[in-house]
Amino acid sequence: MVLSGGRVVDPSQDIDRTADVLIQDGAVVGILDPGSGPSDAEEIDVRGKLVTPGLIDIHVHLREPGFEYKEDIESGTRAAAAGGFTRVCCMPNTRPAIDTASVVRHILETAGQVGSARVHPIGAATVDMQGDQLTEMAELKAAGAIAISDDAFPLQHADTMRRVMDYCAMLDLPLMTHNEDKRLTEKGAMNEGYTATVMGIAGMPRIAEDIAVARNILLARLTGCHLHLLHISTAGTVDLLRRAKADGIPVTGEACPHHWALTDSACEGYNTDAKMNPPLRTQEDCEAVKAGLTDGTIDCIVTDHAPHADYEKEVEFDAAPFGILGLETSFPLTYTQLVLPGVLALSDAIAKMTTVPARVLNLPDGAGTLRPGAVADIAVFELDTEWTIDRAKVQSKSHNTPFHGMKVRGKVAFTVLGGKRIVL
């Protein structure tokens, strides 16, 4: 198969030119001059379109097992494919949690059967994510878990975190932390500040994130563990990460589109589709996140795709669960709000959604590249297409997006997974 005549951007090889991508037996053969490939190949004309390595999202919630009414592996990976993603890493806050090898194997098997994208499970740090007894991380890794995380249930005790990091360092597993001092955010439902006060909602102060980040960075320095900071939302975190990198501490970080695109004023009117954790912050924080992306402090763009059923979100603000959809809006938001205004070059934006996350989590099979021999996972986009985000037209089972009605540019045409075009 040959994808012919597109603009091929592969940051892993510093490529940005019009070319053909030749695919055989599920792998990339090479990036060739237009029309120079074998004449008997099945041709897909992608002239005028952007061709990149399949996007990778290392932070999603697929909700299976246990919460299939919100999302399952089949619908979640369809949402991924609709967003240009060929690979996602799923968080362990399922029921049962991803805290044993058998749950890891179950997810990998199911994804292999029904997935429209590859799935890499992330193992829990503690049993049932209760923050007490450590999981058997070596067994989780042997079964296929590619990292450990406490997402949704951040470890509050430094001694537990230290032991988790010791094991992760020993096993060469990245530790992905949700950074929150829970005593500072108790009963909080949105960012602490003017809007929360006006709305009469208890606030979650930015310092709750900064304190946890500072502690976790110090513990990473002590243990040598590769610490990855999840969903960075504050200027303070960006600053701490920048300084930690300058000090040579093994720490990386990620940001979600909503944390540069929206402020806590999106919660006005008690809009539960703007409720997530960490919460939407201030304009100053949005600008800091963007600056962190520009100067390389923040390594990856992720979504924290967190589906919830309508009836769960259609309740009073305090009672609604945290989380929003992300997979189907991440690329167009990145292109429209970061690339077009010049915050990130196109190749840098693609790198933060392909090559870099693959490196951060040591993903296998030539993830995030179109080098010869790499598995043929590819995304194709129509950059000039303008469209309006519509919560009714999603592949996800859920509809909880704060971006409904927003005009964006850049639409996914299709993805190729292991050399096969995904049809949705």
Residue 283 to residue 171: CA distance in whole angstroms: 39
Backbone angles phi, psi at 50, to 5 degrees: -95, 135
Q: Give me the least distance between CB of 41 and Zn ion, in Å please.
A: 41
| Tokens encoding 421 | 């075009």
Q: Give me the least distance between CB of 397 and Zn ion, in Å please.
A: 17
Residue 364 to residue 56: CA distance in whole angstroms: 12
Comparing CA positions, the residue from 292, 290, 291 lying closest to residue 241 is: 292
Q: Does 304 bind Zn ion (CB under 5 A)?
A: yes
Give me the catalytic one of 304, 318, 377, 390: 304
| Tokens encoding 360 | 């951060």
Q: Give me the least distance between CB of 178 and Zn ion, in Å please.
A: 7
Kindly indicate which of the ranges 12-20, 254-262, 302-310, 393-401 contains the residues binding Zn ion, using the contact rule CB under 5 A. Answer: 302-310
Nearer to Zn ion, 4 or 303 (CB): 303
Q: Does 254 bind Zn ion (CB under 5 A)?
A: no
Nearer to Zn ion, 256 or 389 (CB): 256
Nearer to Zn ion, 231 or 290 (CB): 231
Q: What residues have CB less than 8 Å from 179, skipping those under 6 apart?
A: 154, 209, 212, 213, 216, 229, 230, 237, 278
Size of the site for Zn ion (CB under 5 A): 2
- Secondary element (H or E) of residue 166: helix 158-171
Q: Give me the least distance between CB of 94 and Zn ion, in Å please.
A: 12
Alpha carbons within 13 A on the beta-carbon side of 313: 23
Nearer to Zn ion, 72 or 304 (CB): 304
Asked if the peptide bond before residue 11 counts as cis, ω within 30 degrees of 0, the response is no
**121 with 145: CB under 8 angstroms?**
yes
**89 with 77: CB under 8 angstroms?**
no
Q: Is residue 25 flagged as an active site residue?
A: no
Binding string to Zn ion for residues 313 to 342, with x set by CB under 5 A, is what? ------------------------------
Q: What residues have CB less than 8 Å from 219, skipping those under 6 apart?
A: 158, 161, 162, 165, 225, 227
Asked if the peptide bond before residue 65 counts as cis, ω within 30 degrees of 0, the response is yes
Q: Does 72 bind Zn ion (CB under 5 A)?
A: no
Residue 78 to residue 189: CA distance in whole angstroms: 30
Nearer to Zn ion, 303 or 369 (CB): 303
Q: Give me the least distance between CB of 16 and Zn ion, in Å please.
A: 32
Q: Give me the least distance between CB of 247 and Zn ion, in Å please.
A: 27
Nearer to Zn ion, 153 or 381 (CB): 153
Contacts to Zn ion from residues 123-162, by CB under 5 A: 151
What does the binding site for Zn ion look like in residue numbers (CB under 5 A)?
151, 304
What residues are labeled active site? Answer: 304
